[in-house]
């Protein structure tokens, strides 16, 4: 007797943006699998042409309301390379603090409000809060602390106004950051307890040979800059992104998708970063990982939530250090007149490497823009995970199977609004 | 109303960055209280449980930029007693409305290797261009305090008061020296709706009108004044053709200069 089964998720919930998933199984084998993204295209790379380079970080921030700082940082750095300026160390530190605030906001949002309900069997964090009010309340406080960092430095947490090409329009005064030190012990405790909590979750099995890719720096956990490294030996400068991470097209797909040299799927994001850089996490976080018996690499994609909690605790420790040592920079920004040229940069967005390349004219007007978001890089890996998982789904009840697929997609914290670069995928497996 | 007499809330997303919906989740201190007071019936970013309408209150983020969205917004209107458009995309088309001055077919070719597969309308337009909107909350993003205030007023059956005056009033109240007068920085605050709390000038930069036009703006003398003070005309016009550039009150004036 042949058994067929269809799983349809018409609208993926708890992701930022819109997508749907169709899987068709026959006799336990995948007959059809499609992860469809129907986020409307917004054409940033087209309308950036003709704008001044100074407007770019304000505009690209609007690609994603969850990680605007990532877009501001990648675009600012790429444009700084075009005009030939390096921000001084004190400005770089302030950028890092702002970015750490975004990591905390974004990771806590995903880990607790979007992803945790899957592990604990709730439809949403609001439902979860009825049974676990203390966990959700503590998480909201921690998220608020991340947002507070962005509000003080950037003026607001969604689409901060202070970052600019060359630094900041204004740097916080000497005491402006001190409110962040109030109740800091509680903030730290929540961040570290989260690691215990994540380790206590029950994880579905999934192990797939995976290539992890992230920025890499010798003495620093990657965030603002670095070389591109992978778990399978890639080691190139950021400008070479397009040589390694190649956009590939297949006849059955309209998606802009990326694979290593156009052939193998790869993973970017928190799991890739901790796997390649765990020895540079804050010492307290490394101790905690040892104490809990966390070993690297973390290969089960569901355990990305553990990587997110490790990075959140790391971000709190790093942020505290910068806040305590903070002195306003000598000058909040460096100014350079525009000059014709091209430049590319990557920073590590909460969801993974975010690549920007710009070409501008002598008047500073953008002639060409190219942006590759983390989610468009992870898309082929999401599909690979689903394919790996698919045979198991056959014996599951339909609603359980559907939920597990959704959870699998959410492992990657897919920010679909950021990825209007890929639209629709139909994958057929014989 | 729900079975237990709570207001049924829906949050919709159209073409956008998700930032205004995120502001709903960013009201950390009040989020759980809000979740007690209303029944969150439809909010795909937050919950996988989607309940059918009718809804008492719908918050709508994003602009309408695909044929699919044209259909969804009509259904959303039918399903919702009160419909509030939130943010620059929903009220003015948002940054993606910049395509409205260009050719979407050309845009497709610039961005996508296979443009023939991309479905998009020629324009990205505000919600009010498609259905009746009961209230508009401006901003890119919306101000979360304003959001909390508006929701709590609506829950009590009261009409919320949303400012109609220029952001300059907020800037003055805050005691920030005028960046145009003191530093000769181009600023379009005088024609921009209040609501953000005048953030940009307090960070040493000019307003770029992410809250869109005030009630009765007069951009022309401002453009002329800023250019006589030495600002580059292109730069000033681009300030008014950014996140809320497609709003009628800015569009008409800026188009005249072209």
pLDDT tier, B144 (very low <50, low <70, confident <90, very high otherwise): very high
Question: Mean pLDDT across the stretch B155-175?
Answer: 95
Interface membership of A65 toward B (CB under 8 Å): yes
Range in A419-423, B196-200, B214-218 the model is least confident about: A419-423
Range in A76-80, A399-403, B38-42, B248-252 the model is least confident about: A399-403
Which residues numbered 228-257 in B keep a CB inside 8 Å of some CB on A?
234-235, 238, 242-243
Residues of A in contact with B108 (CB under 8 A): 41, 43
Question: Mean pLDDT across the stretch B135-141?
Answer: 97
- Largest Cα–Cα distance in chain B? 63
The whole-number pLDDT of residue A421 equals 31
Average pLDDT of chain B, as a whole number: 94
What fold is seen in the domain B7-155? Rossmann fold (3.40.50)
Residue boundaries of the structural domains of chain B = 7-155, 167-257
Which among A45, A66, A124 has the least Cβ separation from residue B111?
A45
The whole-number pLDDT of residue A25 equals 79
Which residues numbered 139-178 in A keep a CB inside 8 Å of some CB on B?
140-141, 143-144, 147, 155-159, 161-162, 164, 169-170
Residues contacting A177, CB < 8 A, separation 6+: A152, A323, A326
The residue with greater pLDDT, B190 or B115, is B190
Highest mean pLDDT among A202-206, B12-16, B161-165, B166-170: B166-170
Average pLDDT of chain A, as a whole number: 89
Range in A188-202, A366-380, B91-105 the model is least confident about: A366-380
Which among B18, B102, B199 has the least Cβ separation from residue A64?
B18
Q: What's the pTM?
A: 0.95
The whole-number pLDDT of residue A316 equals 98
Range in A168-182, A313-327, A360-374, B2-16 the model is least confident about: B2-16
Which residue from B97, B93, B96, B163 is spatially nearest to B128, judged by alpha carbons?
A: B93
DSSP string, A107-175: HHIIIIIIIHHHHHT-SBHHHHHHH-HHHHHHHHHHHHHHHHHHHHHHSSSSS-SSEETTEESSPPPTT
Task: Copy the structure tokens of residue B206.
Answer: 């000019």
CA atoms within 13 A on the CB side of A127: 16
Which residues numbered 5-24 in B keep a CB inside 8 Å of some CB on A?
13-23
Q: d(Cα B249, Cα B254) in Å, to the nearest integer?
A: 9
Given a cut of 70, whether residue B196 has pLDDT beyond it is yes
Residues contacting B217, CB < 8 A, separation 6+: B166, B190, B191, B192, B249, B250
Question: Mean pLDDT across the stretch A313-321?
Answer: 98
First-last CA distance in chain A: 19
Q: d(Cα B248, Cα B132) in Å, to the nearest integer?
A: 17
Residues of B in contact with A156 (CB under 8 A): 141, 196, 199
The whole-number pLDDT of residue B35 equals 86
Given a cut of 80, whether residue A14 has pLDDT beyond it is no
Residues of B in contact with A59 (CB under 8 A): 95, 242
Q: Which domains does chain A have, with CATH numbers?
A: 4-428 (1.10.645.10)
CB-count exposure of residue A426 (10 Å: 0-12, 13-18, 19+): middle
The whole-number pLDDT of residue A380 equals 87
Q: d(Cα A18, Cα B35) in Å, to the nearest integer?
A: 23
The whole-number pLDDT of residue A424 equals 29
pLDDT in tens, A266-311: 999 999 999 999 999 999 999 999 999 999 999 999 999 999 999 9
CA distance A291 to chain B (A): 32
Range in A50-59, A412-421, B151-160, B177-186 the model is least confident about: A412-421
Given a cut of 70, whether residue A252 has pLDDT beyond it is no
Quote the percentage of chain A above a pLDDT of 90. Answer: 71
The whole-number pLDDT of residue A126 equals 87
pLDDT in tens, B204-227: 999 999 999 999 999 999 999 999
Range in A315-329, B48-62, B233-247 the model is least confident about: B48-62
Given a cut of 50, whether residue B43 has pLDDT beyond it is yes
Q: d(Cα A104, Cα A336) in Å, to the nearest integer?
A: 32
Given a cut of 80, whether residue A394 has pLDDT beyond it is no
- What is the Cα gyration radius of chain A? 21
- Residue A358 host element (H or E): strand A352-360
The whole-number pLDDT of residue A1 equals 44
Question: Mean pLDDT across the stretch A214-225?
Answer: 97
- Substitution target in A10, A47, A119, A405 with the highest count of B β-carbons within 10 Å is A47
Given a cut of 60, whether residue A251 has pLDDT beyond it is no
Given a cut of 50, whether residue A425 has pLDDT beyond it is no
Strands A352-360 and A341-349: antiparallel
Interface pTM, i.e. ipTM: 0.97
The whole-number pLDDT of residue A23 equals 80
pLDDT tier, A396 (very low <50, low <70, confident <90, very high otherwise): confident
Given a cut of 70, whether residue A422 has pLDDT beyond it is no
The whole-number pLDDT of residue A17 equals 58
Q: d(Cα B189, Cα B201) in Å, to the nearest integer?
A: 9
pLDDT tier, A369 (very low <50, low <70, confident <90, very high otherwise): very high
- In this complex, do B48 and A13 lie within 8 Å of one another by their Cβ atoms? yes
Residue count (chain B): 258
- Largest Cα–Cα distance in chain A? 76
Interface membership of A323 toward B (CB under 8 Å): no
The whole-number pLDDT of residue A134 equals 92
Which residues numbered 303-322 in A keep a CB inside 8 Å of some CB on B?
none
Which among B18, B47, B66 has the least Cβ separation from residue A66?
B18
CA atoms within 13 A on the CB side of A335: 3
């Amino acid at each position: 007797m042949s058994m067929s089964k269809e799983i349809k998720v018409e609208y993926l919930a708890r992701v930022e943006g819109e997508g749907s998933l169709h899987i068709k199984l026959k006799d336990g084998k995948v007959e059809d699998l499609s992860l469809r993204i129907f986020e409307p295209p917004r054409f940033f790379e087209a309308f950036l042409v003709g704008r001044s380079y100074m407007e770019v970080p304000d505009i690209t921030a609007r690609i994603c309301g969850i990680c605007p700082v990532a877009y501001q940082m990648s675009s600012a750095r790429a444009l700084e390379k075009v005009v030939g300026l390096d921000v001084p160390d004190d400005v770089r530190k302030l950028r890092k603090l702002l970015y750490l605030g975004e990591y905390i906001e974004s990771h806590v949002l995903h880990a607790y409000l979007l992803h945790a309900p899957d592990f604990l069997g709730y439809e949403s964090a609001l439902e979860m809060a009825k049974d676990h009010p203390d966990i959700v309340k503590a998480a909201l406080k921690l998220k608020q602390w991340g947002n507070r960092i962005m509000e003080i430095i950037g003026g607001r947490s969604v689409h901060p106004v202070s970052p600019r090409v060359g630094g900041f329009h204004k740097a916080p005064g000497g005491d402006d950051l001190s409110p962040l030190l109030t109740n800091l012990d509680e903030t730290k405790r929540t961040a570290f307890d989260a690691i215990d909590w994540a380790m206590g979750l029950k994880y579905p099995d999934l192990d797939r040979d995976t290539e992890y890719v992230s920025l890499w720096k010798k003495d620093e956990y990657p965030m603002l800059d670095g070389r591109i490294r992978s778990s399978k030996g890639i080691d190139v400068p950021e400008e070479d992104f397009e040589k390694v991470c190649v956009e590939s097209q297949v006849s059955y797909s309209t998606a802009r998708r990326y694979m290593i040299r156009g052939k193998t799927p790869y993973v970017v994001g928190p799991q890739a970063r901790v796997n390649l850089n765990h020895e540079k996490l804050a010492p307290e976080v490394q101790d905690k990982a040892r104490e809990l018996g966390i070993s690297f690499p973390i290969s089960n994609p569901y355990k990305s939530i553990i990587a997110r909690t490790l990075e959140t605790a790391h971000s709190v420790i790093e942020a505290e250090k910068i806040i305590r040592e903070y002195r306003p920079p000598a000058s909040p920004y460096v100014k350079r007149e525009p000059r014709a040229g091209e430049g590319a940069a990557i920073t590590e967005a909460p969801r993974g490497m975010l690549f920007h390349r710009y070409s501008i004219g002598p008047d500073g007007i953008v002639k060409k823009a190219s942006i590759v978001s983390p989610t468009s890089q992870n898309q082929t890996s999401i599909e690979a995970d689903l394919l790996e998982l698919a045979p198991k789904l056959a014996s599951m009840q339909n609603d359980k199977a559907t939920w597990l697929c959704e959870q699998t997609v959410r492992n990657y914290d897919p920010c679909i609004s950021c990825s209007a670069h890929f639209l629709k995928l139909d994958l057929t497996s014989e | 109303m729900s079975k237990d007499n709570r207001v049924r809330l829906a949050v919709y997303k159209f073409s956008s960055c998700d930032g205004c919906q995120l502001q709903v989740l960013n009201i950390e201190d009040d989020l759980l209280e809000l979740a007690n007071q209303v029944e969150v019936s439809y909010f795909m970013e937050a919950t996988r449980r989607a309940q059918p309408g009718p809804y008492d209150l719908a918050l709508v983020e994003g602009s309408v930029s695909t044929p699919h969205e044209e259909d969804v917004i009509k259904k959303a209107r039918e399903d919702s007693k009160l419909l509030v458009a939130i943010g620059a995309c929903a009220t003015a088309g948002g940054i993606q409305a910049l395509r409205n001055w260009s050719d979407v077919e050309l845009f497709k070719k610039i961005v996508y290797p296979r443009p023939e597969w991309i479905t998009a309308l020629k324009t990205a337009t505000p919600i009010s261009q498609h259905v009746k909107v009961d209230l508009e909350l401006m901003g890119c993003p919306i101000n979360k305090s304003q959001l909390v205030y508006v929701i709590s007023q609506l829950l009590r059956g009261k009409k919320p008061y949303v400012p109609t005056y220029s952001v300059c009033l907020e800037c003055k109240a805050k005691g920030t020296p005028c960046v145009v007068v003191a530093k000769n920085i181009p600023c379009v605050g005088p024609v921009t709706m209040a609501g953000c709390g005048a953030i940009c000038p307090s960070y040493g930069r000019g307003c770029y009108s992410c809250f869109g036009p005030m009630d009765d703006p007069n951009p022309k003398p401002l453009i002329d004044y800023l250019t006589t003070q030495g600002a580059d005309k292109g730069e000033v016009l681009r300030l008014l053709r950014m996140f809320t550039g497609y709003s009628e009150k800015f569009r008409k004036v800026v188009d005249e200069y072209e």
